[in-house]
Amino acid sequence: MSDVPGKTYFSRLVGRTGFKSDSLEKVYRLMMILDRMQTVPELSNNLALKGALRRTDDIGIVGRDLLLTPSIMIEEELKSALDEYYGSLERGTHPFFAAVLFHHQFESVHPFTDGNGRVGRELFNIMLESNGFPRVPFASGERQRYLRALTKGDDGNVKGMIEVFMRMMMEQRTDVAMETLKRLTSGD
């Protein structure tokens, strides 16, 4: 396995928090994908720092008006987010709710120069899968809805944020079920 930017950091941070080894492997694979993207000319535009923790505070999120965690506090904030995630599960918080809250915290920390959304959504799905829930694909046509959900969380409307995530998951699963039913009944 090549030296993936951020791999050592993720190994240290995620490895001590209780992720199953197969889940940690998924994080490594995602980091390898980001690493490989650097070799594709069409994708490599300014990818040199992707996957590495950001070292600057001169960064923003397109579509969101949010103050990000200062770069000097990223590692501490990520550890806090993971501790809160596992603590909430131990306290009996529903795994879907805990994953949504972690995802919101991760996106608010915004630890990388680029790729935060992809990494955050993959971590969200790893958390869902490790608790027996299906993945949420986050279709590109849902970007504005997704950003509005995160903004609800920014504004302190956690219930509203979780509700949007739940509706997105239920609608996507309903669409998949309807498509499967259609194929099964069409005789193809």
> Is there a domain that residue 77 lies in?
yes
Residue 85, token pair as written in the block: 């995630």
d(CA 42, CA 49): 16
> Is there a domain that residue 1 lies in?
no
- pLDDT tens digits for range 85-114: 989 999 999 999 999 999 999 998 888 877
Tens digit of pLDDT at every position of the chain (188 positions): 344 444 454 455 454 444 455 555 555 555 555 555 445 454 444 444 445 666 666 665 665 666 677 878 888 888 888 889 989 999 999 999 999 999 999 998 888 877 788 888 888 988 898 888 888 888 788 888 998 999 999 899 999 999 999 988 888 778 777 887 888 888 65
**SS3 of residue 53 by DSSP:** strand
d(CA 187, CA 179): 13
- Based on its alpha-carbon atoms, the radius of gyration of the chain, rounded to whole angstroms, reads 17
> Is there a domain that residue 2 lies in?
no
Phi then psi for 80, rounded to 5 degrees? -60, -40
Number of H helices, E strands in the chain: 7, 0
CATH number for 122: 1.10.3290.10
Residue 89, token pair as written in the block: 């599960």
Q: How many domains does the structure of the chain reveal?
A: 1
Torsion of Cα atoms, 63 then 151 then 162 then 180, to 10°: -20
The vertex-54 CA angle with 51 and 59, nearest 5°, equals 115
- pLDDT tens digits for range 156-167: 999 999 999 998
d(CA 121, CA 136): 8
> Is there a domain that residue 125 lies in?
yes
> Is there a domain that residue 34 lies in?
yes
Residue 150 structural domain: 7-52+60-186
> Is there a domain that residue 176 lies in?
yes
